[in-house]
Structures are given as C-alpha cells and as structure tokens.
Structure 1
Amino acid sequence: MRIGLFIPCYIDAFFPEVGIATLELLERLGHDVEYPRDQTCCGQPMANSGFNAECIDTEALFVRNFSGFDYIVGPSGSCVHHIRDNFDAVEQTDEVKEVRARTFELVEFLHDIEKVEAFPWARFPHRVGLHNSCGTLRRLGHAKPSELHEPFFSKPMDLLSKVDGIEFASPARPDECCGFGGTFAVFEEVVSTKMGYDKVSDHARAGAEYIVSADSSCLMHQKGCAQRIGVPVKFIHIAQILNGALA
C-alpha cells in the first residue's frame, strides 16, 4: 500500500517527533510511505478565520503533492477534517475529490482501514487520560459523543488498549472542549484559557499521568495551561505511544 505522509505545518515546526513517530509506525506496519517535500499548510487556519477563498493556492498545492497515493495519512484530526469537509476553495475536479476521499487521520486509518490488532513493540506502563478533540469526535467519528444515546465506542481507546501496561483515567467530563479551537484561542483568550484550566484539572483529578490525543494542537494548548497552574501531568501524541515511545 502506497501512502502519502501528510505532516501539518504546526507539527513540522513544533512537534517533529510526532511526524517521525507516524512515519515509523506506518513503516512498521509494512507500508511504502512517501513524504512529498513541497507540502505546506492545508489552508485550515485561513478558512477558520473566514478567508476561505484565499486557501485556493494551498489547496491546489496539496492536491498536486498527494494525487496518486492509495491513501494520504496525517496525525492531525483538525487538518484532516478540513480537507475532507471544508476543502472547497479549489475547483472540485475528480482529482480533487479523489484526494479528499483518500485522506485519513492516523487513528481512523489504523482502526478502520488497517484494522490493526496488535502493537507488539509498544509498552506504556502509565495511567492516561484520553482527549478527543471536537473535530475528531464529532466529524471524524473517533468516539461516541456523550450527548448521543448510542452504544459506547472509542477508536483511540481500542487502539491504546492493545499496548502493554497502559491504564485509563476517566475524567468527569470527557467530551468537554479544551478551549484551543485554533484561532479561537487567540480571539477569545480568557475563555479559552479557563476552558484549558478546567480540562487539565479534570484529567488530573481522575489520576492521569499523561494526557494523550490525536491532535497536537490541543495537547499544546493544554500543556501551556497545565504549566501555568501547576498541574503535574504530561502530554503525548497517540502516534508516539503506538510506535513504542517508552518501550
């Protein structure tokens, strides 16, 4: 299976270890992974700020970079959500539609497409609190939103439960937004910060040593909030655990 590795710009700039873990994990699973070196931002920050038309060049570049792959996989729910659901500044040719349809976030790719049953190289003897970002929860279907009367499921938890030694903490309000929300954290700083304080405190009360998520942007926001109010929790992307970060 030929996979195009999509690494969002903020991961490239601030969390390269997440991109490396994603590459290594996909290769461990036997895939031919390529990283198009001309890739840049997918356009999400501009679109979220109301400048959708200005995304046309970044969207066109994304299509040129990733056309022809069996799958495009990225370790960011919010970016994949943008590509699949809001990637409409560029003309919707068959090629564009094909690229959008073949783009998957890492967790859903491993769970829904690969159906991975084991991570024998991974061990993580810690108690973790799972954070599902709003986009992955309600647009990518990572887990059951608490407001819906449906049977419980959680794709990240299902994958993580296959890692030796891991335990789960259960925060009181697991689906509550952490307050990041991209540009929301800039324009509504006070509200965003208070939401972040509440989120990390909830995980800490539940006994989490680590907060794990499929979105580094949410982890970045929560880490800053935790450091500011002295909450002693650590933060790690799910790709790093599944790749055997502490084995």
Structure 2
Amino acid sequence: MTVGLFIPCYVDQFYPQVAKATLSLLEKLGVNVVFPMNQTCCGQPMANSGFEHLTHGCNSLFIKNFKDFDYIVCPSGSCTLHVKDHLHDEEHEEIAKAIRGKVYELTEFLTDVLKVEKLDAKFPYKVGMHQSCHGQRGLKLSQMTELVAPPFSKPEKLLRMVEGVEIIQLSRKDECCGFGGTFCVAEEAVSVKMGKDRVEDHVSNGAQVITGADMSCLMHMEGILRRQKSPVKVMHIAEILNGDIESLN
C-alpha cells in the first residue's frame, strides 16, 4: 500500500518531531509513505469558527494532494475528523467522498488497518494517556466512560506494546482539556481552568509524561505545565511508539 502522510499545519510549524516520528514508525512497519509537499491547513480552524463556507480552497487543495493514495494517515484526531466529516467539493464530490472513507488517525490506522500486535520500542516512564474529545467521541478511538459498555482504547492498546511504559490511572480519564481549537481564544479563562484541572489529574497521579493522539491538546497542556515550571513533559503517542526517548531531553 501507499500512504499519503497528512501533517497538520501546527504540527509542521511547532512540532516537526511528531511528523518525523510518524513517518519513521510507519516505515518501520513496512508502509510506503509519501508526503505531499504542497499540503497546507485542512481548514478546520475556519470551520470551527463558523466559516466553513470559506474552506473551499483548503478542500480543493487537499483533494489535489491526496486523491491518489490508498490511505491517508494523520497524527491528529481533530484534523482527521474534520476531513472525514467535512471534506466536500462541488466539482469533485465523488473524489472527496472516497477520501473521506480512507483518511485515518494514526492509532486507528495501526490497530484497524495494519492490525499491529507488536512494537519494537522502549519507554521506561510513567505515562498519562489523554483521550482527546475528537478522537474519543468522533473517531471512537476509545470508549466513553459514561456508557455502560466494555472499555477499550486503541491508543492504550498500542502503548502497552512498548517495553517499560507504566500507564497511570487518572481520576477522570476522558475529561476535556479545554483546548477546543478556537475555543481557547474565544473563552480563554474557561479553557485555562479546564486545562489546569486536566494537568493536575495527570500530575497528582504520578505522570512523568502526558501523551495523546492529538498534539493540539498536548500543546495546550504543555503551555500550562511550562508556566507552572513543572518537570512533566508532553509527547505525542507517535514519539513513544517510535521509542524516541531522546525527545525528553
């Protein structure tokens, strides 16, 4: 198979190590990966702010960049969900529909398509797993705790394949961090308070590293941790699955 690597704009600008870890991990698993050089923002920030009607250019460019791949993989649940739910194009709607059906967040691609059962990685740290809302409630990457249903978590399943990882238990494991894209700008005070509560849950339960499948949530919590001068680090799950211990330094 040939996979198109879809890297969100904020990851490209602020966390390129996450893109590199994603590429390295997929290649280790035998996947042929191509990175379309002309890709830009998927349009999610505009759509979240009520301006989805202005995202036509983003949609057209996304289709042009990714229409020829067997699968499209992205290390971000929110961006993946945006494309899966909102990619449309009046001139190329059939192609857009096909793309919506083959775009995957990284951990769901590893579990559902590649069906990974073993990883060659070590990460000897106590890790708190943040279940981002888009991934959990939109992409169904993990079970919601308010449901009377068997629990599951695709990201946690993969983490448990990494040698040395100790996954800590949180008091409120699927609580929102408060980032919410443009919500953190429009409702800054509420967003920060939610972020502080989410960080405290991880810290008080002994996390050395907070991880997740969406770097935007981790970016929000990282800002809070830095202001608190906390030694706790944040790392995207791709970095841990790839065994990138040096990223902690």
Unaligned runs of 5+ in 1: none
Structure 1 contact 5–35 (Cα < 8 Å) conserved: yes
Matched AA of 1:241: I
Q: Secondary structure at the match of 1:130?
A: strand
Between the aligned partners of 1:62 and 1:38, the Cα distance in structure 2 is: 9
Q: Quote the residue 2:204 is aligned against.
A: 205
Partner of 1:83: 83
Give how far 1:92 is off.
6.0
Which residue number corresponds to residue 196 of structure 1?
A: 195
Structural mapping, 1:1-247, within 5 Å: 1-88=1-88, 93-120=93-120, 122-246=121-245
Q: d(CA) in 2 for partners of 1:150 and 1:195? A: 26
Q: Secondary structure at the match of 1:181?
A: coil
C-alpha distance in 1, partners of 2:91/2:44? 17
Q: Which of structure 1's runs of 4+ aligned residues deviate more than 6 A? A: none
Equivalent-residue separation in structure 2 for 1:39 and 1:174 (angstroms): 34
TM-score by length of 2: 0.96
Query: Is 1:204–1:232's contact at 8 Å kept on the other side of the alignment?
Result: no
Report the AA paired with residue 87 of structure 1: L
Percent identity between the aligned chains? 53
Which 10-residue stretch deviates more, 78-87 or 91-100?
91-100
2:98 & 2:221 partners in 1: Cα distance? 35
Give the whole-Å Cα distance in 2 for the aligned partners of 1:40 and 1:73: 15
What's the TM-score, normalizing by structure 1?
0.97
Aligned residues: 246
- Amino acid paired to 1:108: E
Separation in structure 1 between the aligned mates of residue 62 and residue 141 of structure 2, nearest angstrom: 24
Q: Say if 1:215 and 1:7 are closer, same or farther in 2 by CA, change over 3 A.
A: same
Shift of 1:94: 1.3
Distance, in Å, in 2 between the alignment partners of 1:90 and 1:195 is 39
Q: CA RMSD in A?
A: 1.2
Instruction: Give 1:88 shift.
Output: 3.5
Q: Secondary structure at the match of 1:128?
A: strand
